Structure 1
Amino acid sequence: MALAMEDRVIVAGGGPVGLIAALDLVQRGVPVLVLEAASTPIQDPRGAAFHPPTLDILDRLGVLPSLMEIGLKIPIWQVRNRDGSVVAEFDLGILAQETDYPYRFHLGQQKVMPVLLAALAKHANAEVRPDARVTGFTERDDGVLVEYADREGTSHCVSGRWLVGADGARSQVRKSAGIEFEGFTWPERFVVTNLADDLTRFGFTYTNYVTDPDRWAVVLRLENEDGEPNWRITYPTDPSLTDDEVLDPANVQSRLVDIVAGAEELHLRYSGIYRVHQRVARQFRKGRILLAGDAAHINNPLGGFGLNSGVQDAANLAEKLADVWHNRADEALLDRYNRQRRGANIEFVQKASIRNKAMIEERDPDAKRQAQDQLRAIADDPQLSLHYLLESSMINSIRAAKGID
């Protein structure tokens, strides 16, 4: 006799995307089980910049007020040169007629997670199970049998009507489903650092893109656990250097003072290396398997699109899956999720993040001068600036995706 399927959706991955998908589903009356491989929530900031459409989602879910109490509103961002000169400055306040949130919002994921977990804990039909690493699944006509291993390596099996893979870039759900992860890996590794210094005294605003062919950087203002300034600087490395050479304290210090014009020494809290990819899953839905977030797409960090597009996946998917769950729509509606979110990622996230990287590392002096002149002209013209910020803040991306049938 076949095992009866539990009436619930299983979400693989208890990061922000998985928890937001689960919270959105449970608020729509869909029971959820979240399987998370880690024992405790992540403890580093990771993706930390939220765009206006993502704040709309967090507000609808009722968690935004709690997040606002511990995060930073960022209305201004800059493009700068390595010598400290400002190429262009953009004020997101110009979006006030387009969104209730005309700013970026900075908050590390380690601070977001407890708020999401507390919101989920209020629902009796939601469970988050840590130490549960998904290892595979078996799909049936009426649902999915999901296998996972606990901390000791013991195997378990649970069941649900649908499986959402929000289990990151190395997604076991995606791999087990046999879905290709198309794209490429950038040759250079990226270094991410956290600093204790106040970089505003060097002219930096709270979001900055520093241009240079080889030594570009992204500079963001975050806060540590005690609410003290915690500036994040991300920069590319020389592919010929070993990881140990890249992370040598003297080498890191040299790169940082090169980025922060005028600084003689900076106080490093953390440095680490990661590889950066541009990849999109060939399909976001395969039968009863649905992908969201990094499991479905990854990109370079220039523009802060990765986490935001993942949250937008989660919200789009939850709405459609709930309609299918409650028999308000046919399962074919989930193919629209695939078309909308995969389309938005290919047409906006991938292209925009690649374009941003090309802009800040432009090598040809004439092309760089022309691009910077154009950027200044956009920043100085309210109408051009409005259009530019509707794009860079992902508002146009959300609107375009909704129009895909």
Structure 2
Amino acid sequence: MHQDEKIAIIGAGPVGLTTALGLARRGVPCVVYESLHGIAREQRGAAFHPPTLEMLHELGVGEPLMKMGLRIPVWQMRDRVNGVYAEFDLGVLADATDFPFRFHLPQHYLSTVLLNELRQQPNVEIRLGETLQSVEASDDAVRLVFSTENGRRESRASWVVGADGAHSMVRKTAGFSFDGFTWPEKFLVTNVRDPLEALGYTGTAYISDPDAWAVVLKLYDDTGDDLWRVAMPASVDVDDAMLLEPESVQRRLRETLGADMPFTLAYSGTYRVHQRVADTFVKGRVLLAGDAAHINNPIGGFGLNGGVHDACNLASKLAEVWHGRATNEALELYSRQRRTIALDVVQKNSIRNKNLMDERDPAVRLRNQQTMHALSIDPYRSREYLMETSMLSAVLQALQIN
């Protein structure tokens, strides 16, 4: 390994930037490549779980984040027709974490804070507007090919971290498999500027219904108050142009939220949702993290959080290898730990959450709701459930994998 070669990180989203800062804090030089010319502001992850906040504070970016965002301690499970059937208060975890709440902040705010911090690091280079075309790994280095506004460019790195999302070019060109499935429906995502608390919603609410289920989140926005995200199912057989017609979106919102009122629509869009995990997160000198390694439906907020957990785990181990204090087995351990969590926690819980919400059999749906209500009022069982759904248990579980 040549010490004058930097580690290449592909993707300047939260996962790539967190990985870069974790390496920089440990004295490891790196270069971050991003195809865009700035931070992506698309409608993506926005809910941070307690252990994620702990990790970001350890990296030194927690304070600027906490000056923004919303602290949401209480979240609901609702039936679209019959209303709330279970409510959980993360405040009961105050003895287990300094952050006993969900923290709502669209991920581009985190990316901006991370990028600003990285620009202060002398051992970090940021290269925007460079699109990865391929990676080719040898025993002692990785060759990278990029397309730029000035044409084709090649680079070398000792290691490459693919944090370039669900359509990862690192994963595709380095020969990883990405098995799983795609959900049959599209997701219709809307942002509205209305005080949904007046309708009885807490800052996080999961609405069960076989056809009109929804995830409702209150979002932080530095331009004003009362911004909420409502994600709903939509048929793949209906053209996006029809789904996104304002009156169609309004009709869906009225039906789903149970309110005969006009909503102030700030955004609407659709996307497909997948459940997939790479066969490994490490192939020689090529490493995967975040959506490049595993993707899931957004119900429960496991994607963004799991990606940040990947980044922190990987940065600590890769730094030890870089400095010669650990062998490549440390990176294999990263893969075992984080891939196990992706399969046993992220995939399992996100699939379970969606199945709970769109169950079609009325008897099964009622039984599920009664079970969740009983769990919510049992102090011991509800605390265990919150440890699991907040991903605190997953962090402990990963540490036990060797």
Percent sequence identity over aligned pairs: 49
Which residue is 1:250 aligned to? 247
Q: Is the 2:30–2:123 Cα contact (8 Å) retained in structure 1?
A: yes
Which residue does 2:56 correspond to in 1? 58
Residues 299, 306 of structure 1: 8 Å contact kept: yes
Q: Over residues 212-271 of structure 1, what are the superposed CA-to-partner deviations in whole Å (9 max), with x where a residue is unaligned?
A: 011100000003331322100000012331212211211111000112223421111110
| Whole-Å separation in 2 of the counterparts to 1:127 and 1:49 | 29
The CA RMSD over aligned residues, in Å, is: 1.2
**Other-structure match for 1:218:** 215
TM-score (norm 1): 0.97
1:394 aligns to 2:391 (yes or no):
yes
**In structure 2, what is the Cα distance between the partners aligned to 1:25 and 1:165?**
15
1:159 to 156, 160, 167: 156
The aligned counterpart of 2:20 is 22
Deviation at 1:83, TM superposition (A): 2.7
Tell me what 1:137 maps to.
135
1:175-225 CA distance string (max 9 Å, x none): 011111100111100011010111000000000000001110000000333
Is the CA contact (8 Å cut-off) linking 1:10 and 1:34 kept in structure 2?
Answer: yes
Quote the Cα distance in structure 1 between the aligned partners of 2:82 and 2:195: 15
Alignment of 1:4-403 (within 5 A): 6-83=4-81, 85-152=83-150, 154-403=151-400
Name which of structure 1's ranges 101-110 and 237-246 shifts more when overlaid on structure 2: 237-246
Retained in 1: the 8 A contact 2:167–2:292?
A: yes
State the alpha-carbon separation in 2 of the partners of residues 100 and 235 from structure 1.
33
Aligned partner of 1:87: which letter? Answer: Y
Q: Is the 8 A contact 1:42 1:109 kept in 2?
A: no
Aligned equivalents of 2:236 and 2:316: distance in 1? 43
Q: In 1, Cα distance between the equivalents of 2:388 and 2:198?
A: 30
1:99 deviates by 1.0
C-alpha contact (below 8 Å) 2:48/2:102 kept by paired residues: yes
In 1, are the aligned partners of 2:180 and 2:275 still within 8 Å (CA)? yes
Q: In 2, Cα distance between the equivalents of 1:159 and 1:261?
A: 56
Q: Is the 8 A contact 1:84 1:260 kept in 2?
A: no
- In structure 2, C-alpha distance between the alignment counterparts of 1:372 and 1:187, rounded to whole Å: 24
Q: How many residues align?
A: 401
CA drift of 1:381 comes to 1.2
Unmatched runs of 5 consecutive residues or more in structure 1: none
Secondary structure (helix, strand or coil) at the match of 1:98 reads coil
After the TM superposition, which of the residue ranges 241-250 and 383-392 deviates more from structure 2? Answer: 241-250
Which amino acid in the other structure matches residue 223 of structure 1?
Y
**For 2:111 and 2:385, how far apart are their aligned partners in 1?**
31
Shift of 1:145: 1.5
Superposition deviation, residue 5 in structure 1? 8.0
Aligned-residue offset at 1:368: 1.1
Is 2:136–2:174's contact at 8 Å kept on the other side of the alignment? no
> CA shift at 1:167, angstroms?
0.4
CA contact (8 A) 1:5 1:160 kept: no
1:19 and 1:112 map into 2 onto residues whose CA distance is: 9
Greater shift after overlay, 43-52 or 213-222?
A: 43-52
Superposition TM-score, scaled by structure 2 size: 0.98
